Amino acid sequence: MKKILKQEKKNSGPPNRMNDLPYSDWMKFRKSFDFFEDDGSLYFKYITFFTKRTEKNRRSLVCIIYPKCDLNELENRTERKIVIKDADQIQLSRTHYKYLIVDLRNRFKNIREYNYFIKHELDIIFKYIINNVEDGKYFTFFIEDYISNTHMYPLSWALSYFGRKYARLTDEKIYISDEVNGEGQYSFSCVTFHNIKDERIPDYELFIPSTKASSEKIKFPRWIIPKPVPREKGVLLHPAKFPETIIGKFLNIFSPEDGIIFDPMCGTGSTQIACLRTKRNSIGFELEEQYVNIAKQRIALERMQPSLFESGNSASVFNLNAVDSKSYNRIKNKSIDYCITSPPYWDVLRSKGSEYQRGRRKNNLPTYYSENENDLGNIKDYSDFILKLADVYELTRPKLKDLSYMTIIVKNILKNRIQYNLAWDIVVEMEKRGYQFDGYTLWCQDDISMKPFAVGILWVSNTVHHYCLNFRKS
């Protein structure tokens, strides 16, 4: 009896207008990263999430363009009516799909094919989609980056820019896997659009980022899921700290022992702690005095660890504004071996609907960094924010040794149901400021409980994957 009640509780939730899933399955799907099992399961998850089995007593009609699995099997498994199309079949028909998938994985043998697709086919596909998918319903692209010997093309980025002309970009979910065809870690993106016109987004230029692979071919992981470590008490005062284990990994890849590491917005000094643990020296700037004090306390405590008694490595944190060029006078030109940092994710911490902040509010913990007018997390306009942030990295550039690396940890963000490509917009701006983008590692955060925002009504995922963007001073 107890078991049945427990099960009922698990399956209960608000009335569900989008699909037939129990509350617990909805919540599982909200997580913005998942492990890839096989194509059939992937299609099943997406189709059963974005449609009901029947609407008005008819089986929901779903379209898949360039499918990679058996149609009959999928129809039986999902209990939906599914039609399959290739790009050359799509001009004529006029239908009412409840959901549509375009599977672009493994589609392009070389970048010429991809460019041809973007220039000549994608527009036709989008026009077909917005005319045939019912208004207010969703459609998803499955797409992977194209990686050649010399270049990397983050295709999901290009697609997202392109698609915003037609519909509202609502979500990006990542699938990861350990090993595919003996080639090591693998990941791809599922980019979902809502078939409504997005009036608030200005027209985007077609943007195809191409990024040259490093000549040294430094190998960094495609994705990492660090083991969650409980946050120390004092550090809880800071709303968004990153784990030392991740920084340690990057330090080992991109910097030498006893090298000098810089973090222009170091918060509670996690970079400093990771540097001490991996025998590096570090310098950090932080605008807010209270975080500087926390960082200093943490450094002092860390130095008391027996393993660090003999350490001669320095760890300094200065209460300085990273946007002010004068702050950088204290660092010698070309003295920094590596920079690793994470900026405020625009002003999202100030967003009232931010589910992540509810728990903090309840516990009387700060939900945003500060009231300081120089705090980048207080800039209201998105473009202003990107430009100011890039100014910080431009000021950092002369301090870096030639050809050394910088890693910026950020997330694409969802605000008022619109996806902002923060990570990707930073890449575009960095390339204008003398940095070469060298690819990214996905940090999949597995220690966050899913929040039920908009369950039963809308697709809003919990974004728990971050981009660790790797750049090189060029």
Ligand X SMILES: C[S@@+](CC[C@H](N)C(=O)[O-])C[C@H]1O[C@@H](n2cnc3c(N)ncnc32)[C@H](O)[C@@H]1O
Name the token pair of 227: 């083991």
Q: Which two tokens stand for residue 52?
A: 């009901």
Minimum Å gap between C-beta 322 and ligand X is: 4
Number of residues in contact with ligand X, rule: CB under 6 A? 26
- The single-letter code of the amino acid at 50 is F
Taking the complex as a whole, the smallest distance from the CB of residue 395 to ligand X amounts, in Å, to: 11
- Is residue 347 at the binding interface for ligand X, with CB under 6 A as the rule? no
Amino acid at 313: N
Q: How far is the CB of 287 from ligand X (least distance, A)?
A: 4
For residue 413, the minimal CB distance to ligand X (Å) is 12
Phi, psi angles (nearest 5°) of residue 383: -65, -40
Q: Which is nearer to ligand X, 192 or 321 (CB)?
A: 321
Contact 367, 406 (CB under 8 A): no
**Which residues face 317 on adjacent strands?**
284
Instruction: Tell me the three state secondary structure of residue 93.
Output: coil
Residue among 49, 262, 369, 420 that touches ligand X (CB under 6 A): 369
Q: Where are the beta strands (DSSP E) in 2-96?
A: 33-35, 54-55, 58-59, 61-65, 81-85
Q: Is 322 in the site for ligand X (CB under 6 A)?
A: yes
Per DSSP, the three-state class of 237 is: helix
One residue of 54, 177, 290, 374 binding ligand X per CB under 6 A: 374
Return the residue nearest ligand X (CB atom): 267
State which residue, 265 or 468, has the beta carbon closest to ligand X.
265
Residue 241 near ligand X by CB under 6 A: yes
Tokens of 448: 């966050």
Nearer of residues 215 and 329 to ligand X, judged by Cβ? 329
Shortest approach of ligand X to residue 289 CB, angstroms? 10
- C-alpha closest to that of 51 among 140, 167, 121, 117: 140
Q: If binding is defined by CB under 6 A, does position 390 make contact with ligand X?
A: no
Tokens of 137: 């319903």
407 binds ligand X (CB under 6 A): no
Provide, rounded to whole angstroms, the least separation between the CB of residue 268 and ligand X: 4
Report the site for ligand X in 220-239 (rule: CB under 6 A). 238
399 binds ligand X (CB under 6 A): no
**Greatest C-alpha distance within the chain:** 75
Query: Which one of 323, 386, 455, 469 is in contact with ligand X (CB under 6 A)?
Result: 323
CA distances from 407 to 178, 196, 427 (A): 23, 36, 11
Judging by beta carbons within 10 Å of its beta carbon (0-12, 13-18, 19+), is residue 411 exposed, middle or buried? Answer: buried
Please give the residues from 285 up to 314 whose contact with ligand X meets the rule CB under 6 A: 285-288, 291
**Residue among 133 and 430 whose Cβ is closer to ligand X:** 430
Tokens 């625009």, residue located: 346
| Rg of the chain taking only CA atoms, in angstroms | 24
CB of 288 to ligand X, least distance (A): 4
Which residues contribute to the site for ligand X (CB under 6 A)? 238, 240-242, 265-268, 270, 285-288, 291, 321-323, 342-344, 369-370, 374-377
